[in-house]
Amino acid sequence: MSEPRGWLEWDGARARDWIAVPRVDDDKYRRGVLGVRTGSDEYPGAAVLGVEAALRTGVGMVRYLGPRRPSDLVLQRRPEAVTAAGQVQAWLLGSGQDAAMRDRVTEAALLGALAEGLPTVCDAGALDLVGRATGPVVITPHYRELARLLTRLLAPQGESVAGSEVAAAPGEWAVRAATGLGVTVLLKGSVTWIAAPDGTRLTVSKAPSWLATAGSGDVLGGILGALLATHSRAIQTDAAAPARLAATAALVHARAAARASDGGPITALDIAGAVPATVAELLASR
Ligand SMILES: NC(=O)C1=CN([C@@H]2O[C@H](COP(=O)(O)OP(=O)(O)OC[C@H]3O[C@@H](n4cnc5c(N)ncnc54)[C@H](OP(=O)(O)O)[C@@H]3O)[C@@H](O)[C@H]2O)[C@@H](O)CC1
Ligand SMILES: Nc1ncnc2c1ncn2[C@@H]1O[C@H](COP(=O)(O)OP(=O)(O)O)[C@@H](O)[C@H]1O
């Protein structure tokens, strides 16, 4: 694919500068803690996938603070996860949740996280709450989710947007959403489009089509959450940082998928499993 005009294709040389390598004087808290409010009784697996991916991307700690069933499954898979509330440096919200079925406790918890002013990934069932965020946000919709969000945004003008329209011009719609909502947009699909309100426009292509498998977006959310948590200070001073971290997450996700696939089918957990070697390879290319 030729590079779309005005969009920069993100590459490994750029991405490696956005991987935080622990320093000799770091401890788990200095590295950064990711708070995670994802999963539901209907979709507990999404919580497991996001936590797994965040831990494998490299983060000081993950605090998983979701409902009982996903919480039990997260701990079963990852005893490293902490289920006690406490300080975090970034949030991952909404994967494996459905806004239409959200109970009041979950809604209050999501709104509480959004009010903290911290770097936040809003996925799936948290996308409709993005306007309530007080800090820098990256939203991670696929085409249908972005169409739903844009339809809500454009309702006052009587406009509605279909998923097929987003699919026909993904970059343009990503830019429109970034401008209209004032957040960084990571639009998922065969090409990942990243648009920020400051005009940053990045793409990540060449991902294997085997990535089109259930849960792979939940893994991407975990990768991105870990990158935000380990760069919370840089995000405070650099308006373009969330977009660059989003592109780095998409690149790590695509390369981990290629590594796990080796030309064959993959599962979402396979992608997460290939993240450490992918990160090591990126760092070794310094
Ligand atoms: N392991 C986990 O826990 C996982 C959890 N996940 C979580 O699931 C949640 C929902 O995410 P999503 O992306 O599926 O939601 P959404 O955009 O509403 O899509 C629904 C649309 O798809 C269509 N459709 C359905 N089946 C179809 C078919 N066979 N063939 C064709 N079309 C079909 C359906 O059409 P309909 O059936 O209504 O006609 C509707 O239009 C979200 O929270 C995510 O994080 C996932 O990440 C997966 C792993
Ligand atoms: N045809 C494709 N080629 C490459 N990557 C794809 C393709 N289709 C989807 N993807 C990627 O797979 C992931 C799917 O995420 P998502 O739609 O949220 O799925 P889920 O909700 O099942 O986790 C995204 O990272 C997206 O960019």
Please classify residue 81 by burial: count the beta carbons closer than 10 Å to its beta carbon, then call 0-12 exposed, 13-18 middle and 19+ buried: buried
Q: Is 142 annotated as a binding residue?
A: yes
Q: Domain total for the chain? A: 1
In a domain, 146, yes or no: yes
How many angstroms does the Cα of residue 69 sit away from the middle of ligand 1?
20
H runs (alpha helix) in the chain: 12-15, 28-31, 44-57, 68-77, 104-114, 143-154, 163-168, 170-181, 216-229, 232-237, 241-261, 268-273, 275-284
Q: Is 218 annotated as a binding residue?
A: yes
Tokens matching residue 135: 């800090």
In this prediction, residues 3-24 reach a mean pLDDT of 93
In a domain, 133, yes or no: yes
In a domain, 284, yes or no: no
In a domain, 280, yes or no: no
For the segment 122-173, what is each residue's pLDDT rounded down to a tens digit? 999 999 999 999 999 999 999 999 999 999 999 999 999 999 999 999 999 9
* The residue to which tokens 């999501």 are assigned: 110
For the segment 243-261, what is each residue's pLDDT rounded down to a tens digit? 999 999 999 999 999 999 9
Q: Is 188 annotated as a binding residue?
A: yes
pLDDT-based confidence at residue 2 (cuts at 50, 70, 90): low
User: Which pTM was predicted?
Assistant: 0.97
| Ligand of minimum distance to the alpha carbon of 220 | 2
Question: Can you tell me the ipTM of this complex?
Answer: 0.94
Residue 4 has pLDDT above 90, yes or no: no
pLDDT-based confidence at residue 1 (cuts at 50, 70, 90): very low
Residues in the ligand 2 pocket, defined by CB under 6 Å = 142, 188-190, 192, 207, 209, 211-212, 214-218, 220, 253
Residue 187 CA, distance from chain mean position: 10
Residue whose CB lies within 8 A of the most ligand 1 atoms, among 52, 218, 253, for a mutation test: 218
In a domain, 255, yes or no: yes
In a domain, 155, yes or no: yes
Q: For residue 269, how many other CB atoms are within 10 A of its CB?
A: 18
CATH number assigned to the domain comprising residue 17: 3.40.1190.20
For the segment 39-79, what is each residue's pLDDT rounded down to a tens digit? 999 999 999 999 999 999 999 999 999 999 999 999 999 99
In a domain, 58, yes or no: yes
**Residue located nearest, by CA, to atom 6 of ligand 2:** 190
201-204 and 192-195 strand pairing: antiparallel
In a domain, 189, yes or no: yes
How many angstroms does the Cα of residue 192 sit away from the middle of ligand 1?
19
Identify the domain containing residue 30 by its residue range.
Answer: 8-275
